[in-house]
Structure 1
Amino acid sequence: MKKMKNRIAIFLGLAFLMAACEDDLNVIPEDDNRQSLDQFYAQPGAYLQAIAGVYGNLALTGTTGPDSSNIGGIDAGTSQYGRVLWYMQNLATDEVIWSYENDPGTAEIQRNTWNATNPIVRGMFSRGMFQVTLVNEFLRQSQPGVLSSRGITDAQTLASIEEYRLEARALRALAYYHLMDLFGKAAFTTENDAIGVAGPEYNRQQLFDYIESELLDILPNLKAPRTNQEGRLDQAFARMILAKIYLNAEVYVGQNRYSDCAAQCTAIIGSGYSLASNYLNNFNADNHTSPEAIFFIQSDGLVTQNYGPTTVMINGQVGSIEANGDQFGVGGWGGALRLRKQFVQKFDGPQFNNDARKTIISGSRNIDILNIADRNQGYILAKYSNKTSTGVAGVSSTFVDTDFPLFRLADAHLMYAECALRGAGDASLALSYVNALRERANNGSQANNITSGDLTLNFIIDERSRELHWEGHRRQDLIRFNRYTGGAYNWAWKGNSANGVPISANLKLYPIPQASLASNPNLTQNPGY
Structure 2
Amino acid sequence: MKRLKFYMIFVLAAILSFSACTNDLEVQPIDPNEATATNVFKDEASYKEALAKIYATYAISGQVGGGGGAPDIQGIDENFGNYLRQYWGLQELPTDEAIMAWDDATIKNFHWQTWAPNDVFIAALYSRIFYTVTTANEFIRTTNAAIANASGTFKTELENYQAEARFLRAFSYWHAIDMFGNVPFVTEDDLPGAFSPERISRADLFTYVEKELIDLSTKLAEPKTNEYGRVDRVSAWMLLAKLYQNSTVYTGVDRNTDALTYLNKVINEGGYTFDPNYKRMFSADNDTSPEIIFPITFDGLNTQQYGGMTFVLHASNGGGMPLNGIDGGWGGIRTIKELVSKFNITESDFSAAAPEFVGADTRGMFYFNPDNWQWEVTNVGTFTNGIGVTKFKNLKADGSEAPNAHPAFVSTDFPVFRLSDAYLMYAESVVRGGAGGDVATAVGYVNQIRERAYGDNSGDITAGDLTLDFLLNERARELYWECHRRTDLIRFGKFTGGDYLWTWKGNNQTGSASESYRDLYPIPSNDLLANPNLIQNDGY
Q: Could you say which TM-score interval applies, normalised by the shorter chain?
A: over 0.9
Aligned to 1:367: 375
Aligned to 1:79: 81
1:295 is paired with a residue whose SS is strand
What displacement does 1:27 show?
Answer: 8.6
* Partners of 2:59 and 2:308 within 8 A in 1: no
Q: 1:138 to 1:503 in 2, by over 3 A?
A: same
2:290 paired with 1:291: yes
Aligned AA (2:444)? S
| In 1, Cα distance between equivalents of 2:8 and 2:196 | 26
* Partners of 2:44 and 2:154 within 8 A in 1: no
1:301 is paired with a residue whose SS is coil
* Partners of 1:19 and 1:27 within 8 A in 2: no
The counterpart of 2:234, out of the listed 215, 221, 236, is 236
Identity of aligned residues (%): 38
Q: How does 1:26-105 map to 2 (within 5 A)?
A: 31-33=27-29, 36-65=36-65, 66-68=67-69, 69-100=71-102, 102-105=103-106
Aligned AA (2:502)? W
2:16 is paired with a residue whose SS is coil
* Partners of 1:275 and 1:410 within 8 A in 2: yes
Aligned to 1:11: 8
Q: 1:366 to 1:27 in 2, by over 3 A?
A: farther
Q: 1:31 to 1:491 in 2, by over 3 A?
A: farther
Residues 272-310 of structure 1 show CA distances to partners (whole Å, capped at 9, x for unaligned) of 111111101110111122101110111111111122332
What displacement does 1:520 show?
Answer: 1.7
Q: 1:381 to 1:473 in 2, by over 3 A?
A: same
Aligned to 2:328: 332
* Partners of 2:15 and 2:134 within 8 A in 1: no
* Partners of 1:317 and 1:332 within 8 A in 2: no
Length-normalised TM-score, structure 1: 0.93
What displacement does 1:268 show?
Answer: 0.4
Aligned to 2:495: 484
Aligned to 1:412: 422
1:174 is paired with a residue whose SS is helix
| In 1, Cα distance between equivalents of 2:76 and 2:366 | 34
* Partners of 1:188 and 1:201 within 8 A in 2: yes
| In 1, Cα distance between equivalents of 2:471 and 2:118 | 35
2:458 is paired with a residue whose SS is coil
What displacement does 1:25 show?
Answer: 5.0
1:506 is paired with a residue whose SS is helix
Q: 1:167 to 1:377 in 2, by over 3 A?
A: same
Q: How does 1:194-343 map to 2 (within 5 A)?
A: 194-196=191-193, 197-270=195-268, 271-320=270-319, 322-325=320-323, 328-343=324-339
Aligned AA (2:506)? G
Q: 1:77 to 1:35 in 2, by over 3 A?
A: closer
What displacement does 1:194 show?
Answer: 2.4
Aligned AA (1:382)? T
* Partners of 1:486 and 1:503 within 8 A in 2: yes
Aligned AA (2:230)? R
2:117 paired with 1:116: yes
Aligned to 2:351: none
Q: 1:413 to 1:507 in 2, by over 3 A?
A: same
The counterpart of 1:357, out of the listed 317, 339, 363, is 363
* Partners of 2:80 and 2:307 within 8 A in 1: no
Aligned to 1:167: 164
What displacement does 1:85 show?
Answer: 0.8
Residues 302-346 of structure 1 show CA distances to partners (whole Å, capped at 9, x for unaligned) of 1111223321221123231x2421xx1012324222211211111
What displacement does 1:35 show?
Answer: 8.1
What displacement does 1:201 show?
Answer: 0.5
2:457 paired with 1:446: yes
Aligned AA (1:441)? A
1:486 is paired with a residue whose SS is coil
* Partners of 1:199 and 1:522 within 8 A in 2: yes
Residues 114-144 of structure 1 show CA distances to partners (whole Å, capped at 9, x for unaligned) of 1111111001110101111001100111113
The counterpart of 1:432, out of the listed 437, 444, 447, is 444
* Partners of 1:54 and 1:134 within 8 A in 2: yes
Q: 1:289 to 1:26 in 2, by over 3 A?
A: farther
| In 2, Cα distance between equivalents of 1:20 and 1:108 | 29
| In 1, Cα distance between equivalents of 2:36 and 2:245 | 45
* Partners of 2:309 and 2:414 within 8 A in 1: yes
* Partners of 1:186 and 1:203 within 8 A in 2: yes
Aligned length: 514
| In 2, Cα distance between equivalents of 1:27 and 1:468 | 43
| In 1, Cα distance between equivalents of 2:285 and 2:100 | 26
What displacement does 1:264 show?
Answer: 1.0
The counterpart of 1:507, out of the listed 507, 511, 518, is 518
Length-normalised TM-score, structure 2: 0.91
Higher helix share: 1
* Partners of 1:12 and 1:52 within 8 A in 2: no
